[in-house]
Chain A
């Protein structure tokens, strides 16, 4: 006759934890982890705000160098973003819908500025457009200078920031249900009308999110700008460059601009989140 199998008896030793305590410990561990990572990221930002007073912040805001850097950064970033959207959107569309030899290489080149150190990007732009550069020497012969001008700031911003928009646009157009486009075409719409009335509105949310990220990247651009455009107040000194100058000579100015950049960046990230949350249900 087989012997009955007994279930193993778990002995509760005085040192063992109950399920309730175990869960409490898990919650505590998770809370510590979340808090420590959040603090690590938030404390340096918070330190900027603790270091100044509202009076000092407002007084520094009227500093002509701050106003000039703010104005230059905003105008160049808006111009860069406009160029990226106007050229990047049709480029991403055509690129995503066609197959051609070397497409993989073009894809890699689009992404390259994302991993390239900005200083290298600036140096490369200088080698190309500088007075003795590959193309720059011809521009120089025509009396056109690019390096160390506001145009150089824009070129540098476009170079480093455009992948954020193009990658996003490319991915949206690749995933887009083409039956919408085909339907529009069979109904009598031209390819351009189809793009403007169907493809663009249905991918607008994602494109907007890419545009906001591009604007943020252009606004924060430092390395390529200082290498290629220099640091001339009123001409090429954008906000990040003014922060660098402020750290050396005018701490309050650096602090004010840093806070301004933090606020703008925060608004940008919140915007992206809101746009993404609204979603791209049809793309």
Chain B
């Protein structure tokens, strides 16, 4: 279970957000550009520090400024897929997926087993030896997802995973995300712009507007526009 109470002063507004996600569920974060969605993910991942509040994952506190608790990024065990997938272009698909496992110092045999499992799960069998720079957008997203879950994270976060994908790849990646979250029984936060995607993939949703929670509820009922500033919650 992920629980976060976050407050952080940003340039144009203060981000104030409380959220919780249960294992096996997907929370969709929506909102206009610069509403604080990616900042929220970065705070949970440890790339940014909140001014006040806390982030708790599976019962342990990752960050709580008042108690001077701040677990380093590399020890949080959070699978984070960035907007551009950030697949390491100089490494092969196999090396990308193995990267986190090597960083954690796992035995070679275990790394090989886990990578081969991920390659199969992400349908990347024929691309294992291909350099990541030669992959398509959809393939990169699958590599990024496989790499993120290979480390057996306690939380999966994805920032705009469908933004550069065509309809076919979007459907395939959505299917994979749902499969992975259910199989691993971990909470997942997904940032997207498209209302249709949110309604389809999410369990719950939060619509942010200038750092404040504008709407929260079942993702099937996300409003098309924000009632405060009438900015679109996302594109249809």
Contacts and interface: CB of A to CB of B under 8 A. Distances in A.
A74 B46 CA distance: 47
A37 interface: no
Interface string B137-153: 00000001001100100
Interface stretch (A11-19, A116-124, A174-182, A230-238): A174-182
A282 B140 CA distance: 15
A197 B102 CA distance: 11
A198 interface: yes
Contacts of B82: 179, 182-183
A183 B80 CA distance: 7
Contacts of A189: 74, 99-100, 103
Interface in B50-109: 73-80, 82-84, 86, 88-90, 99-100, 103-104
A197 B98 CA distance: 13
Contacts of B76: 186
A245 interface: no
Contacts of B74: 185-190
B133 interface: yes
A185 B76 CA distance: 10
A90 interface: no
Interface in A153-206: 177, 179-180, 182-190, 193, 197-198, 201-202
A24 B111 CA distance: 67
Contact of B100 (A179, A187, A282): A187
A143 interface: no
A179 B100 CA distance: 15
A190 B99 CA distance: 12
Contact of B86 (A177, A188, A193, A201): A177
Contacts of A54: none
A198 B88 contact: yes
A interface bracket (residues with beta carbon within 8 Å of B): 10 to 19
A186 B90 contact: no
B145 to A, nearest CB: 12
B130 interface: no
Interface in B29-67: 45-47
Contacts of B79: 186
A187 B47 contact: no
A179 B86 contact: yes
A44 interface: no
B99 A186 contact: no
Nearest to A182: B47
| Candidate in A177, A186, A193, A197 with the most chain B CB atoms within 10 angstroms | A186
A107 B161 CA distance: 38
Contacts of A182: 45, 47, 73, 80, 82, 86
A180 B133 CA distance: 13
A190 B77 CA distance: 13
Interface string B98-126: 01100110000000000000000000000
A186 B45 contact: yes
B133 A188 contact: no
A188 B151 contact: yes
A202 B86 CA distance: 12
Name which of A184, A187, A201 has the most chain B CB atoms within 10 A of its CB.
Answer: A187
A188 B100 contact: yes
Given A179-B84, A281-B133, A282-B133, A187 B151 contact: yes
A184 B45 contact: no
A179 B133 CA distance: 15
Contacts of B100: 187-189
B90 A202 contact: yes
A253 B73 CA distance: 61
Pairs A-B, 7 closest by C-beta atoms: A187-B100, A189-B103, A188-B103, A179-B86, A185-B73, A186-B80, A183-B86
20 contacts: A179-B82, A180-B86, A182-B45, A182-B86, A183-B80, A184-B88, A185-B73, A186-B79, A186-B148, A187-B103, A188-B77, A188-B100, A188-B103, A188-B151, A197-B99, A198-B88, A202-B88, A202-B89, A202-B90, A281-B89
Interface of B: 45-47, 73-80, 82-84, 86, 88-90, 99-100, 103-104, 133, 144, 147-148, 151
Given A187-B103, A281-B133, 6 more contacts: A186-B79, A186-B80, A188-B74, A188-B103, A190-B103, A202-B90
